[in-house]
Amino acid sequence: MTIFEKIASGEIPAKLIHETEDFVAFHDNNPQAPVHVLIIPRKCILRVALAEAAHADMLGRMLLASREIAEKLGVLESGYRLVINNGRDAGESVPHLHIHLLAGRALQWPPG
């Protein structure tokens, strides 16, 4: 069971910002920007490359929820970045699909 599954089930406390039946969003414990939220499915999908057609609706709702989350956090107008890492070389550190919402400062491009 990943740390994200434990957070999604409530076994490990987290500062939740958004919650639905299928996914949760919470503040990252190791933020890389002033605003750093993780949006994760409650059921573990190891990585985006392993997502299936059956996950499409939920993944779309996760992306759409980013707007509501950004609005709640006051960064909708200034802008935010969504990042999904896929695999170790991309920076994936937890084998559980997650979307990073980063904001609160000017973000550089390319990212790294």
- Residue 78 is classified by DSSP as T
Which residues are tagged catalytic? 98
Contacts of 99 by beta carbon, 8 Å cutoff, 6+ apart? 38, 39, 40, 62, 63, 66, 82, 83, 84
